[in-house]
Amino acid sequence: MSKIHVTTTVNGDEVEFLCDPRETVLDVLRDRLGMTGSKEGCGTGDCGACSITLDGRLVCSCLVLGAEAEGREIETVEGIATGEDLHPLQQKFIEYAALQCGICTPGILVATKALLEKNPDPTETEVRYWLAGNLCRCTGYDKIIRAVMDTAADMREAS
Amino acid sequence: MQYHTPTSFEDAIEIAAQADGITRFLAGGTDVLVQLRADIVTPDTLIDIKGISGTKTITHNDDGSWRIGVAVSGAEMTEHPTLARDWPGVVEATDLIGSTQVQGRCTMVGNLCNGSPAADAVPAMVAAGMTVTVSGPDGTRELAVEDVPTGPGKTCLAKGELISAVNIPARGANGGDAYLRFIPRTEMDIAVVGAAVNLRLEGDTITEARVSLGAVAPTVLLVPQAADAIIGTTLDDAALTALAQAANAACAPIDDKRGTIKFRTHVAGVLAQRAARIAYERAQKAGK
Ligand SMILES: Cc1cc2nc3c(=O)[nH]c(=O)nc-3n(C[C@H](O)[C@H](O)[C@H](O)COP(=O)(O)OP(=O)(O)OC[C@H]3O[C@@H](n4cnc5c(N)ncnc54)[C@H](O)[C@@H]3O)c2cc1C
Ligand code: FES
Ligand code: FES
């Protein structure tokens, strides 16, 4: 089967890859680009562990074909911290112990970062609805929600 | 699988018309990719329509009607500054599809052409009196949304045909629409029953109505008897009772772990009543 040549931008860097037409962006990130931050929980759009942004829009990378990434801008969890400096969300997740096994965490960080950029002052209900497509089997969600609410408050004060 | 990215509908039609085996169009991919990954449907030909110009545009025409590009996502509809003012039911129904992530990709056309009887956007599209423009090797035709699905997973589109635009009528004066679904949880589930109502008032009296039900038959239903039950009334108790009875009578649902026949039939009536009340209130507000 002939492979498709794709040029795209990942966390600000231009990257090129060859992929099979059936491969997803998640497959490409993990298996071709060695970026294993995005996780595969289900592969069918249900769990959100593979969340990325595509041209700024939050999507499941398991439901986007690698070929569709041509000319687009992808942001993944690897792009959230600045060097060694963690993003406020990452710091709060540690502080609140908003993770246990950590499989859901990259997707939740990408999703909540997208939320706070769109809405810096969300209600708890808005955060819960926004994250309805990010499943966590360990934390019971409460710590996650509290970490997000507290980060939002801090970021509002800082700005 | 061959992946194509045509830049015009003419090219997309030509590719589809000449393709052998299974062809799928790729809008948001939230059905196509799930079916591909689960080995349910592996298309021989996959035609990505998002590179065709105009497919990402929402246009409010001079006559008040709307034209929605076939690749416009649920999130783009929700974010539009005025679409939900005219058609809150259509926007809220589309917004119920999946999670935030799915909203970033899913389209009304994909929801319709996937052919699920439980598709959430479709009852609201039917109630709104929406049409789709179908383009194919023999030219272009306009179809009512309710005429597109022919059974679970099936549409009336012929080989080489695709939907090139989605049309919403002008809202006009004193109108309102609403969609409600029943699911066992509050998010991320498949409708056990869906009900959409669109109506127009003159004073307090309903002069026009369309009622549509989802997940209670092999396709989404337009139920004219349910509309007749409320036309000419002020949506009083007698009208609401007649509406529920007409909705019940139209149901021919499946019996499964998510809902028995009896349950689905009953809930169809209840949701039709509630959706009618919301549509009625919205129409009253529009008149003020
Ligand atoms: C996690 C998850 C949750 C979901 N939740 C819901 C839900 O709550 N309610 C619901 O109704 N659905 C739900 N869905 C299903 C799906 O998201 C919707 O049906 C969605 O609207 C499909 O749109 P799409 O653009 O992604 O379609 P695609 O997957 O791109 O296409 C779907 C079908 O439409 C055809 N098609 C696409 N464009 C055209 C065109 N222009 N002309 C002709 N045919 C075309 C394709 O060939 C394909 O058969 C969910 C899916 C996932 C993964
Ligand atoms: S792996 Fe993509 S949503 Fe679960
Ligand atoms: S921490 Fe284990 S799934 Fe969320």
Domain ranges, ordered by start, for chain A:
4-79, 88-158
pLDDT value of position B188 = 80
Ligand at minimal distance from the CA of B183 is 1
pLDDT value of position B186 = 78
Residues B88-98 have pLDDT tens digits of: 999 999 999 99
Instruction: Give me the residue from B26, B101, B188 closest to A60, CB to CB.
Output: B101
> Which residues in chain B touch residue A115, judged by CB atoms under 8 angstroms apart?
100
A65 part of contact set with chain B, CB < 8 Å? yes
What is the distance in angstroms between the CA of the first residue and the CA of the last residue of chain B? 55
- Dist CA A60 CA A46 (whole Å): 9
**Angle between helix A142-158 and helix A88-95 axes, rounded to 10 deg:** 140
Closest Cα in chain B to A2: B2
Can you tell me the ipTM of this complex? 0.97
Pocket test residue of A40, A131, A134, A138 for ligand 3, highest count of atoms within 8 A of CB: A138
Judged by CB atoms closer than 8 Å, whether chains meet at A45 and B50 is answered as no
- Dist CA A140 CA A98 (whole Å): 9
Residue B271 — pLDDT band, cuts 50, 70, 90?
Answer: very high
Fold of B175-286: Enolase-like; domain 1 (3.30.390)
A144 part of contact set with chain B, CB < 8 Å? no
Q: For the whole model, what pTM was predicted?
A: 0.97
In the predicted model, what is the mean pLDDT of residues B19-33?
97
Quick one: tokens of B287? Answer: 């008149």
Instruction: Let me know: does B55 contact B71? Beta carbons within 8 Å.
Output: yes
Residues in chain B: 288
Q: Name the architecture of domain A88-158.
A: Orthogonal Bundle (1.10)
Ligand at minimal distance from the CA of A104 is 3
In the predicted model, what is the mean pLDDT of residues A29-50?
97
Judged by CB atoms closer than 8 Å, whether chains meet at A46 and B188 is answered as yes
Fold of A4-79: Ubiquitin-like (UB roll) (3.10.20)
Instruction: Give me the residue from B3, B30, B188 closest to A21, CB to CB.
Output: B3
Residue A11 — pLDDT band, cuts 50, 70, 90?
Answer: very high
Q: Which class does domain B2-116+131-168 fall in?
A: alpha beta
Alpha helices in chain B (DSSP H): 9-18, 32-37, 74-79, 83-86, 88-95, 100-103, 108-113, 121-127, 224-230, 237-250, 261-286
- Dist CA B142 CA B206 (whole Å): 28
Judged by CB atoms closer than 8 Å, whether chains meet at B3 and A4 is answered as yes
According to DSSP, the β-strands at B149-151 and B139-144 are unpaired
B278: three-class secondary structure by DSSP: helix
Residue A88 — pLDDT band, cuts 50, 70, 90?
Answer: very high
- Dist CA B156 CA B240 (whole Å): 34
Cα B256–chain centre separation: 23
Judged by CB atoms closer than 8 Å, whether chains meet at B29 and A132 is answered as no
Residue of B2, B73, B100 best to disrupt the A interface, most CBs of A under 10 A: B100
Domain residue ranges of chain B, discontinuous segments joined by +: 2-116+131-168, 175-286
Instruction: Let me know: does B182 contact B192? Beta carbons within 8 Å.
Output: yes
Tell me how far the alpha carbon of residue A135 lies from the centroid of ligand 3, in angstroms. Answer: 8
Instruction: Give me the residue from A1, A22, A48 closest to B99, CB to CB.
Output: A48
Residues lining ligand 3, judged by CB closer than 6 Å?
Answer: A 99-104, 136-139
Phi, psi angles (nearest 5°) of residue A51 = -55, 135
- Dist CA B251 CA B261 (whole Å): 9
Cα separations in angstroms, B227 against B143, B210, B233: 21, 5, 11
Residues 3-62 of B with CB under 8 A from A: 3, 5, 26, 28-30, 33-34, 36-38, 42, 46, 48, 50
pLDDT value of position A1 = 60
Residues B113-170 have pLDDT tens digits of: 999 999 999 999 999 999 999 999 999 999 999 999 999 999 999 999 999 999 999 9
Same fold, A4-79 and A88-158: no
Q: Give B183→chain A minimum CA distance, Å.
A: 14
Residue B155 in contact with ligand 1 by CB distance below 6 A: no
B29 phi-psi bin (left φ>0, alpha ψ -120 to 50, beta other): left
> Which residues in chain B touch residue A51, judged by CB atoms under 8 angstroms apart?
101
Judged by CB atoms closer than 8 Å, whether chains meet at B102 and A68 is answered as no
Tell me the percentage of chain A whose pLDDT exceeds 70.
Answer: 99
